[in-house]
Amino acid sequence: MKITVSQHGKKLIIEFQAGRLTDKYYIDKAEDFLICIDKFVRKRKISIISPIGHIEFENTGILTERVTRAIIGGLGF
């Protein structure tokens, strides 16, 4: 699974790619990233245990990147 996090203004755009499946979610703050993961997993019926591959951050701040990486790290635990 590939995850791309980009920021445009005050909105974060989260894009998930798992094979040919691609979904975009627009959120206001990085803490809502977990909600996006839940929606993607339920909608596409994939396992969250599958390895998370490449993560890209585009035009995001340090805090957004750290919060996102902490959530992903927590999922791996």
Q: Count how many domains the chain has.
A: 1
Residue 54 is predicted with a pLDDT of: 78
Per-residue pLDDT of the chain (77 residues; tens, 9 = 90+): 788 999 888 899 999 887 888 899 999 988 888 888 888 878 877 766 556 677 889 888 888 888 888 887 777 64
Residue 77 is predicted with a pLDDT of: 47
Buried b (16+ CB within 10 A) or exposed e, 15-44: bbebeeeeeebeeeebeebeebbeebbeee
Residue 2 is predicted with a pLDDT of: 84
- Tell me the CATH number at 60: 3.30.420.40
Q: Model-level pTM?
A: 0.74
**Residue range of the domain that includes 18:** 2-76
